[in-house]
Chains A and B, each alone.
Chain A
Amino acid sequence: MGLTLQFVPYFEIEKLSSLGRIRKLLNAVKEGNIVLLEGRLTKEEEAELIKTTMEEINSDFKGIELAVIYPESHNVDFFKKMKQQLFNAILGDRQGLTILGPASIVKEIKKDPNKIQLFTSDPKSSGRRKKKRRG
């Protein structure tokens, strides 16, 4: 079985409302795609995405797996942090990468700050396959 990775550049969601962003991502996932979004949603949008996912769960759609890789900012100095926040306020939060996929295909996403492991369900065997990405 092949996997489809759909890349969504930030400019495609930039002008959308929160609801529009969630709808776009969820529609792509419900079509069976693993979505790679440039940047990330706001924390409130992430919570709303989980809420909407729960509302739509049925016998065909079991939910999503979600992970965000974001550059660590604890060790960044104050001026660099301010510069980044200003940049984000003007251009949107394009930093990092959001990965989401249907729970029926993506069994688990494990992550530490700079590495993501994506385990997919294999319908032909009970084992699991592993894809790695290093940030």
Chain B
Amino acid sequence: MIKLVKKFMKKVFRDLFRKRKSLKLGLYGPPNGGKTTLANRICLDWLGEEMGSVSNIEHETREVQIKEKITVKKGSNELSFSLVDTPGIATRIDYEDFLKKGLKEAEAKKRAKEATKGVIDAIKWLDNMDVVIVVLDSTKDPYSQVNITIIGNLAARDIPVLIVANKTDMKKSSVKKIKSAFPQYEVIGLSAKKGTNSEEFYEALFAIAG
């Protein structure tokens, strides 16, 4: 009897704790997939302000950024979470690539060093996530090992995943290609920059995290 009461109390406390704990929604993906653009879109839609800066040069986000207390509403339902924007995960970082994009040597070397640390932090943060949106550039080849490794690691940790095929406003975009590469996941095509298909995106977010 005492054991049963103890078990019941433990469950009540655990559920209470779980309800109070803020849901962490992570944005993961390779560099320049549009994670920060999507984070900005979500923040603009529900907070009226942007979250971080975006750039055409890879590894613009080099530190994990967190925006707390975002509440998304759909009818009478609400979904509250902390949005975690992570640096793009890559297997190679060469400061000379930044030189080609017009950065000065010292700046390029600094960016490369910070980018390597950013990748390490992004991988370390995987264990803290409750739900993850994997943001892929739909104009690029989806079969890259980085994409497969990220999604495989989330599956190994039993973290629910929603794949966003971003940049559908671009001519070369192919959501179909991403869907066929990851048939076991829900894939939503959108343009975070233009805000197209937001409705379907938030619906999918509710379905996976609500």
Contact = CB atoms under 8 A, between A and B. Distances in A.
Interface residues of A, number: 25
Interface in B172-210: 183-184
B25 interface: no
Interface stretch (A14-22, A51-59, A77-85, A127-135): A51-59
Interface residues of B, number: 26
A68 interface: yes
A111 interface: yes
A127 B126 CA distance: 38
Interface string A3-15: 0000000000000
A103 B156 contact: no
B91 interface: yes
Nearest to B126: A47
Interface stretch (B43-51, B68-76, B142-150, B158-166): B142-150
B155 A67 contact: no
Chain A interface secondary structure, helix, strand, loop or mixed?
A: mixed
Interface in A24-73: 42-44, 46-47, 50-51, 53-55, 57, 62-68
Contacts of B94: 62-63, 103
A66 B119 contact: no
Chain B interface secondary structure, helix, strand, loop or mixed?
A: helix
A109 interface: yes
A74 B155 CA distance: 15
B155 A53 contact: no
B103 to A, nearest CB: 16
B123 interface: yes
A110 B141 contact: yes
A20 B53 CA distance: 39
B168 interface: no
A103 B89 CA distance: 15
Nearest to A55: B120
B123 A68 contact: no
A62 B149 CA distance: 20
A53 B92 CA distance: 8
Given A42-B156, A54-B117, A111-B145, 9 more contacts: A46-B153, A50-B89, A57-B116, A63-B92, A64-B91, A65-B92, A67-B145, A109-B145, A112-B143
Interface of B: 89-94, 112, 116-117, 119-120, 123-124, 126, 141, 143, 145-146, 148-149, 152-153, 155-156, 183-184
Interface of A: 42-44, 46-47, 50-51, 53-55, 57, 62-68, 74, 103, 109-113
21 contacts: A43-B152, A43-B155, A44-B153, A44-B156, A47-B149, A50-B146, A50-B149, A51-B120, A53-B91, A54-B93, A54-B119, A62-B94, A64-B92, A68-B148, A103-B91, A103-B92, A103-B94, A109-B145, A111-B143, A111-B145, A113-B143
